[in-house]
Structure 1
Amino acid sequence: MEKKIQPTTWDNYTQKIFANQLITVDDLAEFKKQLLNELLAVLKSQTGIAPKKWMKSHEVRRLLKISPGTLQTLKASGIIPYTKMGGVHFYDHDDIQQVLESGKSGGKNSL
């Protein structure tokens, strides 16, 4: 059994569809599994990308999922070290990771 598809303006040839070329539900389920596996592999490979060395306040708040007031408290208490340049606070990513891993910074109270 053969069915012709009308060519589009960009398609200069006709395609033929045969009965054995139909897509089944099982075919779609298998395609879904393959697609998910490929997407997961790409996401896993991107987690190895090194983060930026210096982050701004909004990036630190997003990373730690905290409010501006909480970040201000952490800065004022010395838990999170920062550098101020031209009115902008910058935070070293390694310092943030170290604070998260140790739970405290420089003998100050723990988070």
Structure 2
Amino acid sequence: MAIEILTKEDLKEFQKSLLQDIKNILKGNNEQSKKWLKSTEVRKLLNISPGTLQNLRINGTLTYTKIGGIVYYDHSDIEKVLNGNKVNALPTLFK
């Protein structure tokens, strides 16, 4: 079995490579890769029950598309609903 000796430079190069890989993975997760989401994905994203999601559809809060029994939601519409319902918190005054 051959013995390899690692130098500090080798470890620094590995660290740079690893950090770059992690940055690429995180960057990929921040960008929405799917335009259309299924109900289960939306429920998971918003942490809501199937009934709550149905109520959002029924009352027109959240638009959707239904194809062959599968309901799809546009990711940008979900963001619009979230942004449209933002509540500005009043700063707490300390005495």
**How does the TM-score come out when normalised to structure 1?**
0.56
String of CA shifts for 1:56-75, please: whole Å, max 9, x gaps: 11111111111111111111
Matches within 5 A, 1:1-111: 5=1, 15-16=2-3, 21=5, 34=15, 37-103=19-85
Cα-to-partner distance string for 1:40-64 (whole Å, 9 max, x where unaligned): 3122331353332221111111111
Which residue does the alignment assign to 2:92?
none
Which structure is richer in relative contact order (CA contacts within 8 A, separation 6 or more)? Answer: 2
Structure of greater Rg:
1
- On the 8 A contact 1:53/1:93 being kept in 2, the answer is yes
Report the structure, 1 or 2, having the larger helix content.
Answer: 2
**TM-aligned CA distance change 1:43 to 1:22, over 3 Å:** closer
CA-to-partner distance for each residue in 1:17-46, whole Å, 9 max, x for gaps? 6xxx489xxx7xx77xx2763453122331
Q: What is the one-letter code of the residue matched to 1:53?
A: K
Q: Distance in 2 between matches of 1:36 and 1:22?
A: 16
Unmatched 5+ stretches in structure 1: 6-14, 105-111
* Superposed CA offset, 1:68-104 (max 9, x none): 1111111112111112222221111111111011118
What is the CA RMSD across the aligned residues, in angstroms? Answer: 2.9
Using structure 2 for the length normalisation, give the TM-score. Answer: 0.64
> Across the two proteins, how many residue pairs are aligned to each other?
82
The percentage of counterpart residues that share the same residue type is 43
